[in-house]
């Protein structure tokens, strides 16, 4: 849980610094290769993050930042 909180706090900091919405903040955060690796690892290893990734895909549809390949999630380009 503590690791997931890092992501949430990071997104909040980006939103504050850039005055943007959550979707824009996520895109800014994922421009950093270290965060991309961390998110991809989390969504494929942590069951709660896996579920959040599934919800993200359902809610965002074609605008989703995550793609599903069988049981593996990867970040889109």
Residue 1 confidence (pLDDT): 55
**DSSP summary character for residue 32:** S
Q: Alpha-carbon distance 4 to 74, whole Å?
A: 17
Domain total of the chain: 1
Q: Please give the model's pTM, rounded to 2 decimal places.
A: 0.84
Q: Alpha-carbon distance 15 to 23, whole Å?
A: 10
pLDDT digits (tens, 9 = 90+) for 39-73: 999 999 999 999 999 999 999 999 999 999 988 99
Q: Write out the residue range of the structural domain in which residue 57 sits.
A: 2-75
Residue 76 confidence (pLDDT): 85
Distances (CA, A) of 51 to 13, 14, 42, 70: 24, 24, 11, 14
CA angle 37/23/1 to nearest 5° reads 50
pLDDT at 2 over 90: no
pLDDT digits (tens, 9 = 90+) for 24-40: 999 999 999 999 999 99
């Amino acid at each position: 849980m503590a690791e997931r909180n890092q992501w949430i706090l990071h997104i909040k900091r980006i939103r504050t610094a850039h005055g943007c919405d959550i979707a824009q903040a996520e895109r800014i955060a994922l421009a950093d290769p270290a965060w991309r690796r961390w998110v991809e690892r989390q969504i494929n290893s942590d069951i709660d993050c896996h579920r959040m990734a599934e919800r993200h895909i359902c809610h965002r549809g074609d605008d989703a930042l995550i793609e599903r390949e069988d049981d593996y999630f990867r970040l889109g380009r």
